[in-house]
Every structure is written in structure tokens, then in C-alpha cells.
Structure 1
């Protein structure tokens, strides 16, 4: 079972530069995502896990929190300290937090 983190707790770690993986589809990501989030659609997570850090927590986000749970479970099974963000991007937006639109390369 995926470990979950609240939006408020995630926001604190995000502000400190924690890695964020957005597992939605490219069109969803382009419409608006957490600034700095790396796009890794759910179907690509098994292949993309090798590119994620294993020495710090990784936060996984989707639209509402369902796909991110699946992805975080997979990541945890591969030795990544992953947490699913409850409420997802929808909750992030409703909370008035910053959003970036478009397809931008991740920064690491």
C-alpha cells in the first residue's frame, strides 16, 4: 500500500526542492502542473524508475491521487522512497498554489 502525504506536507518539501513526479498523461500535464514536476506518465514508470533518486523522498502526483498511489507502490518496490500526494494536482490548484502550464523539461 502506497504511503501518502498531505498536500500541506508536500508543499513544505516541494518548497525545499523535493523531487516531484507527475504521472498524468502529457495533455493533462501541459494543461497545468506543479512547478518543477517531472512528467512520467503512469505507463512509463517501470522503465523510468532507474532515473529517480534513491537517497531522498520522491513525491508522486496525478489528478486526484489514484494513479500516484499505483506509481508510488511500484517505486517503493524498486527501492525509491516514494509518497503519493493526496488530493493530487486538483487539490493543489484548489488550494491556490502555483501551477505551470506547457511542456517544460524537468530539472533533474
Structure 2
């Protein structure tokens, strides 16, 4: 079972430059994502885990927290220190945190 992190802990990690992986589909990501989040649709995670570092935490986010748990499980099984973000991007936006639109990573 994936380890989860709260919105508050995620916000602190994000502010410190933590790596965020968004496992939603490209159209969902383009509609609005956490600034700096790397797009890695859930179906691609098993094949792309090698792109992720094994020497630091990875914060996995989706719309509400369901897909991110699956993605974090896959990552953890491959030696990546991954955490699912409880509540996902929806809770992030409702909490007043920044969200950017477009198909590319954007800094905050």
C-alpha cells in the first residue's frame, strides 16, 4: 500500500523544490497542474520509473489521490521513495495553492 502525504506536508516539500510527478493524462495536466510537476501518465509509470531518482522523495499527484496511490506503489516497488499526495490536485487548488495550465512544466 502506498505511503501518503498530507497537503500540508506536500506544500512544504514543494516549496523546498521537491520532485512532483503528475500521473494524470496529458489533457488533465494541461488543464491545470502543480507548478513544476513532471507529467508521467499512470499507464507509463512502470516503463518510466528509471527516469526518477532513487536518492530523494518523489511526490505523486493525480486529480483526487486514487491514481497517485497506484503510481506510488509501482515506484516504491522499484526502489523509489514515493508518496501519494492525499486529495490530489483538486485539494491543492481548493487550498489556494498555485496551479498553472498548459502542456509543459512551469516554475512557480
Decide: shared fold, TM above 0.5. yes
CA deviations on 1:56-99 (whole Å, 9 max, x unpaired) are 00000000000000000000000000000000000000001001
Residue 33 of structure 2 aligns to a residue whose secondary structure is coil
CA contact (8 A) 1:38 1:105 kept: yes
Q: CA RMSD in A?
A: 1.2
Could you list the runs of 5+ residues in structure 2 that have no partner in the other structure?
none
The corresponding residue for 1:87 is 87
Instruction: Give distance in 2, aligned partners of 1:53 and 1:14.
Output: 16
Report the CA distance between 1:103 and its aligned residue: 0.8
Could you list the runs of 5+ residues in structure 1 that have no partner in the other structure?
none
Number of aligned residue pairs: give it. Answer: 107
Report the CA distance between 1:105 and its aligned residue: 4.4
The corresponding residue for 2:13 is 13
Q: Which runs of 4+ in 1 moved over 3 A?
A: none
Instruction: Give distance in 1, aligned partners of 2:36 and 2:11.
Output: 12
| TM-score, structure 2 normalization | 0.96
